[in-house]
Amino acid sequence: MELDWHYYPETHCSTQDLAKEWSAGNLRRTRTECRLDGESCSVDRAALRGIAVFCTFSQQKGRGQAGNVWFGGKGDNIAMTLAFYPENLDASDLFSLDMALSLGLLRYARRIDARCCLKWPNDLYSGLRKLAGILLETRIRGTHVEEVYFGIGLNMNQEFFPENLPNPISFRQLDGKVRDLEKESCQLASDIGNAYDMFLCQKDKAGERGRLFEIYKKEYLGSMLFYGQWRDFLFRGKRVHARIEDVDECGCLWLRDSLDGMFLADIKELRYCLPV
């Protein structure tokens, strides 16, 4: 699928916000007008196709999950948002798309470090250290998804991080190599774009509702940090010893506790207990 590139030498807002601002000004909505005979007709349809990519290596105000701020550095890392404008995508399939795009990012990362994994709900890790944050935002009309913004903050060449960050790491810290950010950003966007293309193909083949989710769930769970392992978590503010067992179609986790009971946790309820 065609990639429409928008590169910014430096930005003081997030690439996510740049993408949404650009879309608001350039995406033409379907308008319906009534003819004199009372019949309605469509006179203008959304003209945007492909994938729009917004990228910078110097982002001063990145955004993360739940209002968190993402440290971007200056000239050392990749901040990127890919904007998708799907046709006929039901909101019930949104988490399947989230899994597909996250796995596209993971496939890119594992070319560099085979130990990379996904930390639920939307982070890229190497071991117990955070390589990238992911933020997915959407515009939904009725039950259909009209716009998807997949934002990534990826630590590439950063050598030192502020001490207040809990557990960051960069590819440079992992292997000592300084990489060409332009080349890497092209490969990153290509891998995620290919994952989106594959998602659309799978969606067309899936047929019955729920089938698309099952296609991606196994690989997603198998790539998840601590999947199937007994670990400590914070659930609703209390420490629990539990094991991740499954994920549902909304992206919530099913966990088994030490008393063999099962409980469901959403993004606001569960936190990993990780070393600082």
Q: Say if residue 61's pLDDT is above 90.
A: no
SS3 of 201, please? Answer: helix
User: Which ranges of 49-176 does DSSP label H, i.e. alpha helix?
Assistant: 94-112, 171-175
Mean pLDDT of 186-200: 96
Assess if CATH 3.30.56.10 describes domain 3-222.
no
DSSP class of residue 114 equals T
Round to whole Å and give the CA distance between 234 and 243.
12
**Which pLDDT value is given to residue 49?**
63
Give residues with Cβ within 8 angstroms of 250, minimum separation 6: 95, 266
Axis-axis angle for helices 181-206, 211-222 (nearest 10): 140
CB contact at 8 A, 265 and 238: no
Q: Is the peptide bond before 121 cis (omega within 30 degrees of 0)?
A: yes
Return the structure tokens found at 275. Answer: 């070393």
Tokens 């308008």 found at: 31
Phi, psi of 160 (to 5 degrees): -135, 145
pTM of the model: 0.88
- DSSP class per residue in 172-196: HHHH-----HHHHHHHHHHHHHHHH
For the chain, what is the mean pLDDT?
88
| Segment of 29-38, 40-49, 210-219 carrying the highest mean pLDDT | 210-219
SS3 of 237, please? Answer: coil
Round to whole Å and give the CA distance between 161 and 159.
7
CB contact at 8 A, 123 and 105: no
Round to whole Å and give the CA distance between 133 and 23.
23
Mean pLDDT of 176-185: 97
Q: Say if residue 209's pLDDT is above 80.
A: no
Return the structure tokens found at 206. Answer: 């899936």
Pick from 152, 126, 166, 196: nearest CA to 64: 152
CB contact at 8 A, 179 and 90: no
User: Which ranges of 207-249 does DSSP label H, i.e. alpha helix?
Assistant: 211-222
The string of pLDDT tens digits covering residues 108-133 is 999 999 999 999 998 999 999 999 99
